[in-house]
Structure formats: structure tokens, C-alpha cells
Amino acid sequence: MAGIYIHIPFCRQACHYCNFHFSTTLALQNDFTAALLKEIILRVPYLHDEPVETIYFGGGTPSLLSAASIRRILESIDHHFRVSRDAEITLEANPDDMDAERLSSWKSAGINRLSIGIQSFFLEDLQWMNRAHNAKQSVEAVEIAKKAGFDNFSLDLIYGSPGLTDKKWEENLRQAVSLEPSHLSCYALTVEPKTALAQMIILKKTPAIEPGVQAAQFLKGIQMLEEAGYEHYEISSFAKPGKRSLHNSAYWQSKKYLGLGPSAHSFDGVSRQWNVSNNARYIESLMDDKLCFDMESLKPMDILNEYIMTSLRTAEGLDLRQVEDYFGKEKGDLLKNNANVFIRSNKMNHSDHKLILTLEGKLFADGIASALFFD
């Protein structure tokens, strides 16, 4: 089984923290859609006719794209790939783009899951992030989505930002839970190079991120959401029973996926590709029926290290038997031996051939994974 990711590279305005590829110039939307439809055809061989179980519109802001374009893209994918009847088809949407007409159009086009970018229910936080919506629009958007028949939707929240007190974070969580989403994604604010946020911190226009505050809010989020009946199945992800994100889960399970659109990444199990991160070059290349991407072949140790990184983020953890099956018993034994330091410090449990991070270990997930990497 495989997945398809579609990167829509347009935003109404730039969030201060974002380092994804996007443009606030919307004039190229029609040309982009035409180019994307060509890329779909040229990329047909990539998945080797494997069934497609997930389709995900990310960005950027996919909800800015016209409903007609979304329909054409899905129709083309359905025509050229073997899409499963019950495929999960997700659209990332901002509250200010959501109204009854658009939601109805998305649903009739085949969208059956929404990922709604709330981030915060406090106006001052949204303004600090440079988001285009307000808190009232967030609540209204969810209610309209429910009325349109979307019972499978996720809400995004950000914690650890300057000005977000513990009290406000708890209120964000309570408000989110009251809207009854099937899924929640809670992300720690990170300072990425070359973003407006990074520059604001350098110029002391905003306080730096406080790791201790982020850690406390991370733990509080786990506590409150688990008490509300959500399963903490991945570091940043919480789901009601049976409502995990199939698309994101496929990444963590190292399944194949095809990335369409500028900057989109693809993975076929042995190599990785990434499209050019330039809208004009992407469009120009495809108008000449040419793909424009870079590629790297993955060495066995690259694949193993990636498995270590992704599996340790999940509730199921790292399966040592899988490591032995794919990379040999010697690697499995060495990995288990290297993990002992984290087991002894109560950051990791070893049970039934699996290495699973404890609550404390989840605070250091990336560092623990990198410490276990093979050269």
C-alpha cells in the first residue's frame, strides 16, 4: 500500500514560524494546477501499480485552491492510479477559507478528512503568529464542517510560544476537546533558520523559546488529552480510537509515497526524491513534459537510521525483530545494547522485543534516536 502527497504552494500570508515552501503570490494557481495534472501522468510508474490508501493535500494552504481544481486533481489521480475504495483523502484547511459552499464542494470531490489549522484560540497569539484567521472563525469553521458531514477532522495546535502561558495552553486544549475532533496534532513551536521568527528573536523583538516551558506544556497536553479519551500514538499526534491519521502513520511505518507539487518529497523504499522548490521552474519544466527533481539512493544504514527515528516517535516503538530481519542479528543486538543507557535512566522500556519511550523519554525523542544511529 502507498500514499500520495500533494503540495499546494500558496498562502494568503506568511506565518512567522513557517519554513515550508510557499508563495503569497496567487497569480500562478491555474498554471500550477495544469502543471500538477501533467506531473500526475508522468509519475504513474513510480508506485508500480501499488494500491493508494491515502491522499493528502498539504502546503502551503490547500484550502486556497479552487474547489474545481481539487476535483480535477482527484479525478486524475483516480484515473491514473489504483486508489482504494476506502482511501483516506485529507485536505489541510484554514478556518478563514471554510464556508458551507466550499465544504460541500470538497466533500463532493472526494475529500473525507480535514486537518484544520487552528493553532490557538487566543487572538493575541494568532496575531503574533501572523495567522489570517481569528478565534471566532476557528469555532465557526468546525461547526460548519460538522454540518457539512465531516465527522473525521483534526485540529492543529501550537504550544511553547512566547506569551502562551500554561493557563492559556490548558484553555486551548479544553476548547479544542469541546469541539469533538477525531484527531489532534500538537506541535512545539520551533525556530527554523531564515524565518521571520528567527529574525525577530535575533533582533530581540520577541523572547526566545523556553525549553522548560515547552516540556511542561507537552506533558500537560498528554495528560489532558489522554484523560479526554485520545490515544497518544505519536509524539505530536492524538486520536480517538480508530481515528489515527493513516497518511502520517504510513510515513512512520516506512511505506512508499509519491510527492506531487513543488518541494514535495517521494520515497520508494530504496531512494528519496524531492521536487524543485520554485513554483515558476516547476511549472515551466512540466509545460515541457519534464520532471524537475533531485534524488538520492539510500544506503542500508540510512534506511535503518530512518526507521530508528520514526519508530521511536510512535506508541508501538522500535521492533528489534524487524531490525534483525532486515539488517541482521548483529545490528539488532548492538542496538539493544546501545539502548541500555536509556533503559537504565527510565527513558525507555524494553518489552516483547520492542524499545518504547517512556513519558520522560518522549521529551528527548530526537536526541535518543540520534544517539542510537549507526554510522
Delimit the domains of the chain by residue range: 2-252, 300-372
The domain defined by 300-372 folds into Arc Repressor Mutant, subunit A (1.10.10)
Distances (CA, A) of 91 to 58, 59, 110, 308, 348: 7, 10, 10, 29, 35
Least confident span in 165-174, 238-247, 248-257: 248-257
Q: What is the phi/psi pair of residue 87, to 5°?
A: -60, 140
Residue 262's contacts (CB-CB under 8 Å, 6 or more residues apart) are: 7, 9, 21, 275, 276, 277, 278, 279, 281, 282
> Which ranges in the chain belong to alpha helices (H)?
29-42, 67-80, 100-109, 123-129, 135-147, 166-178, 196-202, 211-227, 246-252, 279-287, 300-311, 320-327, 329-344, 359-362, 365-372
Span 165-182, average pLDDT: 98
| Upper half-sphere CA count for residue 372 (Cβ side, 13 Å) | 34
- Cell digits for 54? 491515502
180 pLDDT above the threshold of 90: yes
Q: What is the phi/psi pair of residue 348, to 5°?
A: -150, 145
H helix count then E strand count, the chain: 15, 15
Question: What pLDDT is recorded for position 26?
Answer: 82
Percentage of the chain beyond pLDDT 90 is 93
Q: Which CATH class is domain 2-252?
A: alpha beta
Helices 135-147, 100-109: axis angle to 10 degrees equals 50
Fold match, 2-252 / 300-372: no
- In tens, the pLDDT along 271-287 reads 999 999 999 999 999 99
| 139 φ/ψ sector (left φ>0, alpha ψ -120 to 50, else beta) | alpha
Question: What pLDDT is recorded for position 22?
Answer: 84
73 — pLDDT class (breaks 50, 70, 90): very high
- Cell digits for 162? 512566547
Report the SS3 class of residue 191: coil
36 pLDDT above the threshold of 90: yes
Question: What pLDDT is recorded for position 24?
Answer: 86
Percentage of the chain beyond pLDDT 70 is 100
Span 28-41, average pLDDT: 96
Span 92-109, average pLDDT: 97
27 pLDDT above the threshold of 90: no
Q: Would strands 318-319 and 153-159 be described as parallel, antiparallel, or unpaired?
A: unpaired
Per-chain mean pLDDT for the chain: 96
Please choose, from the candidates 57, 73, 51, 69, the residue with its C-alpha nearest in 3D space to the C-alpha of residue 115. 57
Q: Which residues, in sequence order, are bridge partners of residue 245?
A: none
- In tens, the pLDDT along 285-340 reads 999 999 999 999 999 999 999 999 999 999 999 999 999 999 999 999 999 999 99
Residue 289's contacts (CB-CB under 8 Å, 6 or more residues apart) are: 38, 42
Question: What pLDDT is recorded for position 168?
Answer: 98
Span 134-158, average pLDDT: 97
Whole-angstrom Cα distance, residue 204 to residue 312? Answer: 35
- In tens, the pLDDT along 187-235 reads 999 999 989 988 999 999 999 999 999 999 999 999 999 999 999 999 9
Burial of 152 (0-12, 13-18, 19+ CB in 10 A): middle
Question: What pLDDT is recorded for position 270?
Answer: 92
- At 206, the amino acid letter reads T
Q: Would strands 183-188 and 237-239 be described as parallel, antiparallel, or unpaired?
A: antiparallel
Cα-based angle 359, 361, 367 (whole degrees, multiple of 5) = 150
